[in-house]
Amino acid sequence: MTEQIISADIVAKHNASRQADLTRDYDALGERLSRRGIDIAAILDKVSKFNVAVPSWGVGTGGTRFARFPGQGEPRDIFDKIEDCAVISQLTRATNTVSLHIPWDKAEPNRLKQAASRFGLGFDAMNSNTFSDAAGQKQSYKFGSLTNADAGARSQAVEHNIECIEIGKAIGSKALTIWIGDGSNFPGQVNFARSFERYLDSAKEIYKALPDDWKLFTEHKMYEPAFYSTVVQDWGTNYIIAQELGAKAFCLVDLGHHAPNVNIEMIVSRLIQFKKLGGFHFNDSKYGDDDLDAGSVDPYRLFLVFNELVDAELNGAEGFDPAHMLDQSHNVTDPIESLMLSAVEVQRAYAQALLVDRKGLEGFQEDNDALMATQTLKTAYRTDVEPILAMARLNAGGAIEPVAAYREAGYRAKVAAERPAVAGGSGGIV
Ligand code: LRH
Ligand code: MN
Ligand code: MN
């Protein structure tokens, strides 16, 4: 029997006071959708199966290079983090996996597995870290990891990734995500072609260690920490990597890793078309890799990404099974609340995209009716699908309003009493 951190009585009481209203709202929406030829039960069924992984590193308060302001009851280690993830999963019923970052989350694999399975959680992609130096490591990544001029640093980075695969194998993960910070800060500092050649050679070594039923995700990012050039800077380079490595290699799209105004949904479409879309790190952004809560700045863009995903899903695109993960930093909110709302925002975009009249859209596209084509998307986007999301949660034992239920349960105060307060930090620049 799966353990629940928030008492079932609290959730039941929370839901009981809201269920009658929800049923009325759900029935009214069902009636409206049926007029559009949509069966609400079919949408509910799909939405109920939706899952997005929670990043272990997201449940601690984030910070900037200027400062970090920790909250109450910060998780002390990966086991506290797993408990926080269990709360998110229990109340939203949309996040039954956790994505680990090594070495931050390094622990005895059996203990990790047990800690997660207590709460019915599994593990999503493993994330390696060669963008910072771990305590006691032999070679520094100051001048790069997989592309470092020093062969010793490169092989250390390769070995680290292989270790991540080994840990992942022991805990039931099926994917490795590689993001590197390698690049340069000055024109002329590195030779672009030589760096990329080293990257491919190193990545091929990692790929060789990948089990047959695993996927390798490589994540591009335009800049930061390297501010002049980055080795894996865009989806074009990422696509080349996936092609060079082989059938188990795919591109991971982190929504915050593009220049402002880049048409991300179109990148998604291209990667789907050429069978190299591996998955997502969902978040939102205003300026750069802001790691803001998914759907908090531009929910329409999130919808447009899901419009592409649903299009592929409905077309039965071969081998199409992208991984959904959040990747956010919570500087001023309770991370659990942000992650719950973000998971729901991603699920909302999926539900809205399921409502697009695909046949109608295709007709308008073929007729060059730009206005009606775009209105078709807007009609779906403007539909308030909250009753479907809430009903999916209720049916699965979650909370109709996850944040309200979380606050009613007083979880943060409870863990604050057990987990010692942590001091704030001045960040990396002062
Ligand atoms: C890099 C990134 C990558 C890392 C995470 C901590 O900006 O998006 O996914 O693993 O942040
Ligand atoms: Mn990311
Ligand atoms: Mn990022």
Q: How far is CA 26 from CA 23, 31, 162, 350, 360, in A?
A: 5, 9, 48, 17, 25
Q: Give mean pLDDT, residues 48-72.
A: 97
pLDDT for the residue 146: 99
Tokens of 116: 């997660």
pLDDT for the residue 226: 98
Instruction: Report how far ligand 1's centroid is from the alpha carbon of 401 (Å).
Output: 29
Say yes or no to pLDDT of 101 above 90.
yes
Radius of gyration for the alpha carbons in the chain, expressed in angstroms and rounded: 22
Q: Shortest CA distance to 269 belongs to which of 326, 310, 297? A: 310
Q: Work out the pLDDT band at 429, boundaries 50, 70, 90.
A: low
Q: Work out the pLDDT band at 318, boundaries 50, 70, 90.
A: confident
Nearest CA to ligand 1 atom 1: 179
Give dist(CA 204, CA 210) in Å, integer: 10
Tell me if 401 sits within 8 A of 407, measured CB to CB.
Answer: no
Residue 146 contacts by C-beta under 8 Å, 6 or more apart in sequence? 130, 154, 157, 158, 178, 180, 182, 198, 199, 202, 203, 231
**For ligand 1, mutation pick of 64, 98, 160, 221 (most atoms within 8 Å of CB):** 221
pLDDT for the residue 185: 98
Q: What is the pLDDT of residues 328-368, one digit of tens each?
A: 999 999 999 999 999 999 999 999 999 999 999 999 999 99
Q: Work out the pLDDT band at 319, boundaries 50, 70, 90.
A: confident
Q: Shortest CA distance to 296 belongs to which of 279, 309, 283? A: 283
Q: Shortest CA distance to 91 belongs to which of 30, 167, 10? A: 10
- SS3 label, residue 95: coil
Instruction: Report how far ligand 1's centroid is from the alpha carbon of 373 (Å).
Output: 36
- SS3 label, residue 299: helix
Under CATH, domain 52-357+402-418 is a member of which superfamily? Divalent-metal-dependent TIM barrel enzymes (3.20.20.150)
Tokens of 245: 């490595």
pLDDT for the residue 414: 98
Q: Give mean pLDDT, residues 115-126.
A: 98
Say yes or no to pLDDT of 141 above 80.
yes
- SS3 label, residue 215: strand
Give dist(CA 22, CA 349) in Å, integer: 20
Say yes or no to pLDDT of 430 above 60.
no
Write b or e for each residue in 206-229: b if 16 or more Cβ atoms lie within 10 A of its Cβ, otherwise e. Answer: bbebbeeebbbbbbbbbbeebeeb
Ligand 1 in contact with 254 (CB < 6 A)? yes
Give dist(CA 347, CA 342) in Å, integer: 9
Look over the chain and give the mean of its residue pLDDT values, rounded to a whole number: 97
pLDDT for the residue 39: 98
The ipTM assigned to this model is 0.99
Q: What is the pLDDT of residues 236-259, one digit of tens each?
A: 999 999 999 999 999 999 999 999
Q: What is the pLDDT of residues 195-247, one digit of tens each?
A: 999 999 999 999 999 999 999 999 999 999 999 999 999 999 999 999 999 99
Nearest CA to ligand 1 atom 9: 179
Say yes or no to pLDDT of 290 above 90.
yes
Domain boundaries, the chain: 52-357+402-418
pLDDT for the residue 425: 81
**For ligand 1, mutation pick of 254, 258, 280, 291 (most atoms within 8 Å of CB):** 254
Instruction: Report how far ligand 3's centroid is from the alpha carbon of 205 (Å).
Output: 24
Ligand 1 in contact with 179 (CB < 6 A)? yes
Say yes or no to pLDDT of 396 above 80.
yes
Nearest CA to ligand 1 atom 7: 289
pLDDT for the residue 427: 66
Element (H, E) at 341: helix 335-354
Tell me if 74 sits within 8 A of 98, measured CB to CB.
Answer: no
pLDDT for the residue 428: 62
Pairing of strands 277-282, 249-254: parallel
In degrees and rounded to multiples of 5, residue 385 shows phi and psi of -95, 10
Q: Which atom of ligand 1 is nearest to the CA of 129?
A: 10
Burial class (CB in 10 A: 0-12, 13-18, 19+), 263: exposed
pLDDT: is 423 or 139 the higher one?
139
Q: Work out the pLDDT band at 424, boundaries 50, 70, 90.
A: confident
Instruction: Report how far ligand 1's centroid is from the alpha carbon of 179 (Å).
Output: 7
